[in-house]
Structure 1
């Protein structure tokens, strides 16, 4: 039976997995943006493309390198949720 505690546990696990996946994609982009900002401050070059393009390339590279892990992690989450769905209904 689906109790409020069990529902909260399912939602908390889904939020945790989502947060980990977002961190894998966003944190390297943030660090790259920080490096570009330091470079721009040191050289006083204020080109918008210089701040956007490295972050885009870093995010795409992380999708390429971690894409398999991301899909496997999301797949495991959904499989586990659907396995538990039969037990939760009745």
Structure 2
């Protein structure tokens, strides 16, 4: 197996992980920022006020994007298994 093939697989896997994590974390970060701005404007320092909206948005994002996330992951895995003979030999 050529080292370039290993590096390409590593790069594709890393890109997929970053894409999947960003799809879930970006909406949560946006809601966290909005809540932080609201807390700074109103001087309310309640920790649960920032936690609960982020939790709800994260759960809704996973519910909405879950099929897409799973499809991307299974496509990558299927492509990897299909290409194993070409990578080895």
Give TM-score scaled by structure 1 length. 0.95
Per-residue CA deviations over 1:14-64 (Å, capped at 9, x if unaligned) read: 100111111100011000000000000011111110010111111101001
RCO comparison, higher one (Cα < 8 Å, 6+): 1
Deviation at 1:84, TM superposition (A): 1.2
Shift of 1:89: 2.2
* Equivalent residues, number: 89
Corresponding residue number in structure 2 for 1:55:
54
Alignment of 1:26-65 (within 5 A): 26-65=25-64
Report the RMSD for the aligned CA atoms in angstroms.
0.7
Unaligned 5+ residue runs, structure 1?
none
Q: How many Å separate the matches in 1 of 2:26 and 2:87?
A: 36
C-alpha separation between the residues in 2 aligned to 1:35 and 1:88? 47
Q: TM-score, normalised by structure 2?
A: 0.96
